[in-house]
């Protein structure tokens, strides 16, 4: 692959993504949330590392689960589908450039757009922390890292949708449906499975780990140096079973989700005759 060519495609995709009004709507909402999170007492005692808002911390993590997948899915879903609808993708494929270069460049540009949106929120949160006298930087950066990984997973899933659809509106609708499934239906499914089959902690943990949002939740709570007791027997079992290796496992699972999503998206894109 030619790096200058990849960067040219990435720049074009970045400009296009940054013109997406939904991206900025979600980004502003996320920025307000992140600033509220920092003002809630990131450096206070209690919920060690994320300060003294006790139960409120869990609800803020859940709020992150709402905004971050929306950002990634919306950007990813509109990437290939919008170009296909306008005819831009067909024009690119007619040029002396490979499908791998097109896909990689567009994925890079979309990633930069998502990171820009998330940086706005976490930058404001960091500014709020600095004005309030600090906080645990390592804890904060760990939370940022988990959030960025979740955003990449959502972006990859969005690219799968974009590879399968021909209209930007259809891609956006499918992304919204997938977001609803991940955020709400997955939780209801786990709850239903737990009530029906009454699995042991290992079985319930396995059910949670097949959902990237639940992986993020486990990792985020652990990164705050809080007890996983808030997740009941599942959290206690995860800590008992994996101990100090739990963060590495969760990070690895999120990275694997992201890699698998982008790989599947490229495989679909590569098999389509006209893009």
Query: pLDDT for 190-204, tens place per residue?
Result: 667 666 767 666 676
Residue 56 phi, psi dihedral angles, 5° rounding: -60, -30
The pLDDT assigned to 56 comes to 43
C-beta separation of 161 from 262 below 8 A: no
Distance CA 78, CA 162 (A): 6
Can you give the residue ranges of every domain in the chain?
Answer: 3-271
The pLDDT assigned to 51 comes to 46
Q: Which residues of the chain have pLDDT under 50?
A: 42-56
For 95-132, b/e burial (b = at least 16 CB within 10 A) is: eebeeebbbbbbbbbbbbbbeebbebbbebbbebbeee
Distance CA 63, CA 96 (A): 44
188 Cβ contact list (under 8 Å, min separation 6): none
Distance CA 77, CA 83 (A): 11
Give residue 95's region: left, alpha or beta (phi > 0; psi -120 to 50): beta
From residue 98, alpha-carbon distances to 55, 102, 274 in Å are: 51, 6, 13
pTM confidence score: 0.86
Reduced to 3 states, what is the DSSP secondary structure of residue 52? coil
Q: Is 173 exposed, middle or buried (0-12, 13-18, 19+ CB in 10 A)?
A: middle
The pLDDT assigned to 234 comes to 66
C-beta separation of 164 from 82 below 8 A: no
Query: pLDDT for 103-148, tens place per residue?
Result: 999 999 999 999 988 888 777 766 766 665 555 677 777 888 898 9
The pLDDT assigned to 168 comes to 87
Q: Map tokens 């911390």 to a residue.
A: 57
From residue 180, alpha-carbon distances to 2, 70, 139, 165, 207 in Å are: 38, 10, 29, 19, 18
């Amino acid at each position: 692959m030619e790096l200058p060519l990849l960067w040219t495609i990435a720049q074009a995709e970045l400009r296009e993504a940054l013109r997406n009004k939904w991206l900025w709507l979600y980004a502003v909402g996320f920025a307000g949330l992140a600033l509220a999170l920092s003002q809630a007492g990131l450096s206070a005692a209690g919920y060690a590392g994320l300060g003294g808002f006790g139960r409120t911390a869990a609800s803020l993590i859940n709020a992150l689960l709402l905004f971050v997948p929306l950002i990634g899915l919306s950007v990813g879903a509109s990437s290939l589908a919008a170009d296909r609808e306008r005819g831009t993708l067909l024009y690119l494929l007619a040029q002396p450039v490979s499908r791998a270069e097109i896909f990689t460049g567009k994925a890079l540009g979309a990633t930069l757009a998502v990171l820009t949106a998330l940086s706005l929120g976490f930058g404001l949160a960091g500014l709020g922390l600095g004005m309030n006298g600090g906080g645990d930087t390592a804890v904060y950066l760990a939370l940022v890292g988990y959030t960025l990984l979740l955003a990449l997973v959502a972006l990859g899933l969005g690219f799968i949708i974009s590879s399968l659809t021909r209209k930007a509106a259809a891609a956006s609708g499918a992304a919204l449906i997938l977001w609803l499934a991940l955020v709400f239906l997955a939780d209801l499914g786990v709850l239903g499975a737990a009530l029906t089959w009454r699995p042991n902690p290992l079985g319930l943990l396995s059910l949670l780990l097949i959902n990237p949002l639940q992986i993020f939740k486990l990792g985020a709570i652990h990164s705050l140096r809080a007890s996983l007791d808030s997740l009941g027997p599942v959290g206690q079992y995860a800590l008992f079973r994996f101990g100090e290796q739990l963060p590495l496992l969760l990070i690895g699972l999120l990275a694997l989700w992201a890699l698998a999503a982008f790989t599947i998206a490229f495989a679909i894109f590569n098999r389509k005759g006209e893009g």
